[in-house]
Amino acid sequence: MTQENTETKNVQEETADQENQAGASVKEPSAKEMKKELKKEGKELKKEKGKIEELEKQVKELSDKIAKEKDDYIRLMAEFDNFRRRTSQEKLELVNVASEDTIKGLLPVLDDCERAIEALKDSADSTAAKEGTELIYNKLTAYLKSKGLSPIEAKGQPFDTDVHEAVAQMPVQEEDRKGKIYDVVQTGYTLNGKVIRFAKVVVGI
């Protein structure tokens, strides 16, 4: 056998020995080791499961908190809307009351104008006085009408306690005039549909 063949054989034997040693070092894990590994993985899995449960709990708490804050916000907005409406209504009522008081204060002036016109009809005073009085009366009534003032229909109408106030009774012969208004002592008025002064009337009986 030549030297070259001998060296090749030696290399092959060394390689085989190394492979045998490597194979011998790789051993199958024992049942105890596998059980220990499984137990370790189980602990880790349980730990991770605990973390997930904690996160889910936090998510639920945050969701409940958000839902509560949303509900509180909706309630607050509803209360604010009610407050705003109530305030607007109160302001409107205040304006209406102030307007009503002002117009009530002007009604005696309106009455005086009507009396002056009636007096001037049978008077020998100048035409200018009559026209001037009528002009003032017409302007005043037009202004008050624009603010919602309306006279209450009375003479010849059936007596209605909602808008009329009887101050006297007058015997009448005609059956169709009984229970109806015979004369008007003082004109009544409504402001935007609300009675601010009852018509003082004489009722036929």
Cα(158)–Cα(152) distance, rounded to whole angstroms?
12
At position 38, the amino acid (one-letter code) is L
Select from 2.60.320.10, 3.40.30.10, 2.30.22.10, 2.10.260.10 the CATH code of 150-205.
2.30.22.10
CA–chain centroid gap for 140, Å, is 39
Spatial CB neighbours of 178, under 8 Å, sequence gap ≥ 6: 172, 204, 205
Residue 24 — very low, low, confident or very high, per pLDDT cuts 50/70/90? very low
Instruction: For the chain, give the percent of residues with pLDDT over 70.
Output: 85
Give me the pLDDT at residue 150, please.
Answer: 94
Structural domain boundaries in the chain: 80-147, 150-205
Tens digits of residue pLDDT in 89-99: 888 777 777 78
Average pLDDT for 180-203 = 93
Per the listing, tokens 């104008």 go with 113
CB 199 within 8 A of CB 188: yes
Q: What are phi and psi of 172, to 5 degrees?
A: -130, 150
